[in-house]
Structure 1
């Protein structure tokens, strides 16, 4: 994806690195992009997951589940501190669409990351696959978040 007009420079640098991570499928640098106090909100759970460990674990696991993942559109908020990335992917024979809503802190680190996915049957399949691969870890993280 190209630069995102209107995004603050530090956030823009984070977005460029984010896209590079997904182009190369090398999630090793995810933690560097996140604030120490990041909050991740999953489409499958009501309670948020706090912290870099949960964020990197969930994103890395989802990146293994999604097939043909691609970002299609991106938008920045008027204040330059948030972005919305529209994506498409597949899990087996189910296609899905979603958005990543990202808020950056003053240093350009990801402070909040929220995902929404449709249709419901694709979201249910994602939740099932996540449970298979990461169930105990996600349950423990959810319990610690609130």
Structure 2
């Protein structure tokens, strides 16, 4: 994907470019420095946001291994620290489309990451795959988010 011209701040642009590199590699070492320690991750199948670096790192690296034929199509910039990334892929037989909403801090770190996916059956398949791989860890993060 070639990024569109944008008004993202230079630090946010650099992080987003490195994000695209992580998506190709799936390597947690590529992702970890992009996430703020206090990042808030909003999952499409978890009601409460998951706070913190560890939850976002685990979730995003796991998802990167579950999606098949994942690709970004368009990038929308809403200001110097806000971007929306349209993506597609599939999980088993389910084709999906989605949007990642990303907010960056002044240093360019991701401080909010929200995922939206359709159709519902693809979201269910993702939830099942995530539960099978990291269910107990996600439950612990969910419990910590409620406390």
Deviation, 1:140, is: 0.6
Map of 1:70 onto structure 2: 71
Which shows bigger deviation, 24-33 or 36-45? 24-33
Superposition pairs for residues 1-146 of structure 1, below 5 Å?
1-4=1-4, 5-77=6-78, 79-146=79-146
Deviation, 1:20, is: 1.0
Q: Indicate conservation of the 8 Å contact 2:21/2:30, yes or no.
A: no
Distance of 2:26 and 2:108 partners within structure 1: 22
Runs of 4+ in 1 over 3 A off after TM superposition: none
Deviation, 1:98, is: 0.5
Deviation, 1:17, is: 0.3
Distance of 1:27 and 1:37 partners within structure 2: 17
Q: Indicate conservation of the 8 Å contact 2:38/2:111, yes or no.
A: yes
Deviation, 1:3, is: 3.8
Q: Indicate conservation of the 8 Å contact 2:26/2:61, yes or no.
A: no
TM-score by length of 2: 0.95
Partner deviation per Cα, 1:61-105 (whole Å, 9 max, x = no partner): 11111000000111111x311000000011011100000000000
Aligned Cα root-mean-square deviation (Å): 1.0
TM-score by length of 1: 0.95
Q: Indicate conservation of the 8 Å contact 1:3/1:12, yes or no.
A: no
